[in-house]
Structure 1
Amino acid sequence: MLKQAVLVVLLGMSASAMAGQWQVKVGASAIAPTGDYKLGNSTVEADSELAFTPSVEYFFNDNISAELLLATPISHDVLLDGQNAVKLKHLPPTITAKYNFKNSTRFTPYIGVGGTAFIAWDEKSDLGKVKVKEDFGFAGQIGFNFQPADAKNWGVFADVRYAQISPEVQIEGIPNFDLDIDPIIYTLGYSYKF
């Protein structure tokens, strides 16, 4: 009985110590690829897309946090000279270590650096059998969180991310090539801190 009481007290203490250190963000993002690839005299590039991009953030203190982007599956069309060549879906899990410029206002700018992954599936092409490989790269982030005066836990945020991803594309009968997506991601959304 005493052990159970001690366990309950310890769990309560750890829960109170964790209070205010987690934040959930729900946003909508515009994903704008910036790269392309020259395949002979042709240009291969991914199209721009919109996506639902939730994330979870843990605050180690007022200034240092880590954020994990958990976007829903994103569909991309890969264009060859403006015509659809490949359709694919992918997940872009991205983690960034962030510095939050905490101040006396309700406006908190932040910057972050980290890594991202490109996990593709459901690839389709009219050109032949296609496979898009996984890829990993650098990620950067800059943005701000704003908490209105009457808000206790919630706020709004806006940020811009850059992800360096160039997955290899294999299409039957065509030389393999790296699809330089390298997207800039513009996000607006709501945040809620626990």
Structure 2
Amino acid sequence: MLKKTAFILLLGMSASAMAGQWQVKVGASAIASTNDTSIAPGVVVKADNELAFTPSVEYFFGDTPFSAELLLATPVSHDVLLNDTKVAKIKHLPPTITAKYNFKNMTRFTPYVGLGGTAFIAWDEEGVAKDVKEAFGVAGQVGFNFQPADAKNWGVYVDVRYAQLSPEVTLVDGTKFDLDIDPIVYTLGYSYKF
């Protein structure tokens, strides 16, 4: 379902490429895991919080308030904590696509909201984690872009994203569980519109 939605959005973007504008965004993000997983009585596993480099590409559909943004973050590493003790490390790519509504107004602040899908693409694992499966989920974002008075094409942005991610993890002893990361991602960055 996520692949089909992404494919349809990309087709729509390419079909109307002459009628809109592109924006490149480069940000730094704090990724805060919001959940933990109980795998046995008194045994809790969770992913730690991390920092990441989060570039993205956004396409604006002509003069409409709609856009589509594809997050192209570098691989993100999470320590896996068992009762607050590190037992493994997992690394993944978190591609995320959102359809956005931008609230145009007469100020240099442009608030926006977005809804879409995200993926957890396993990149590497270390420690007692033997295998980590891919996972897919819903993603949402809210934020704003600010363009200073002397800026023609550039601006700064702040946004907050939520991603529903629970990849299946298999430990070396055969134990399997869904690692409920479900992160909230806080981002500050620079934007440039072409």
TM-score with structure 2 setting the length: 0.88
Could you give the per-residue CA deviations for residues 48-105 of structure 1, whole angstroms, max 9, x where no partner exists? Answer: 0000000000001340000000001111100001111111111000000000001111
One-letter code aligned to 2:52: A
Contact 1:68 1:96 in 2 (8 A): yes
Number of aligned residues: 176
What does 1:17-36 correspond to in 2, within 5 Å? 18=18, 21-36=21-36
- Aligned-partner Cα distance in 2 for 1:149–1:18: 27
Q: CA deviation at 1:39?
A: 1.5
In structure 2, distance between residues paired with 1:42 and 1:170: 15
**Paired amino acid for 1:59:** F
What is the RMSD computed on CA atoms of the aligned residues? 1.3
Query: Could you say which residue in structure 2 is the equivalent of 1:55?
Result: 56
Instruction: Give me the whole-angstrom Cα distance separating, in 2, the residues matched to 1:172 and 1:48.
Output: 24
Counterpart selection for 1:121 from 120, 123, 130: 123
* Structure 2 unpaired stretches of 5+: 1-16
SS of equivalent to 2:175: strand
- Matches of 2:106 and 2:18 in 1, distance apart? 23
- Is the contact between residue 20 and residue 193 of structure 1 (CA under 8 Å) also seen in structure 2? no
Deviates most, 19-28 or 115-124? 19-28
Give every structure 1 segment of 4 or more consecutive aligned residues whose post-TM-superposition deviation is greater than 3 Å.
Answer: 17-20
Q: 1:65 matched to which residue of 2?
A: 67
Distance 1:122 1:91 in 2: 10
**What are the residue-to-residue correspondences of 1:1-194 with 2, within 5 Å?**
18=18, 21-40=21-40, 41-61=42-62, 62-125=64-127, 127=128, 130-194=130-194
Structure 1, unaligned stretches of length 5 or more? 1-16
Distance in 2 (alpha carbons) for counterparts of 1:68 and 1:176: 31
> What do residues 94-153 of structure 1 show as CA deviations (whole Å, max 9, x unaligned)?
00000000111111000000000001122111x3x6101000000000000000010000
Q: Distance in 1 between matches of 2:108 and 2:174?
A: 54
**Structure 1 counterpart of 2:140, which letter?**
G
Q: For 1:98 and 1:169, how far apart are their aligned partners in 2?
A: 32
SS at match of 1:34: coil
Answer with 1 or 2: which has the greater Rg.
1
How far apart are the structure 2 equivalents of 1:20 and 1:169?
Answer: 42
% identical aligned pairs: 74
CA distance in 1, matches of 2:126, 2:188: 31
TM-score of the pair, normalised by structure 1: 0.88
For 1:107 and 1:27, the matched residues in 2 are separated by: 18
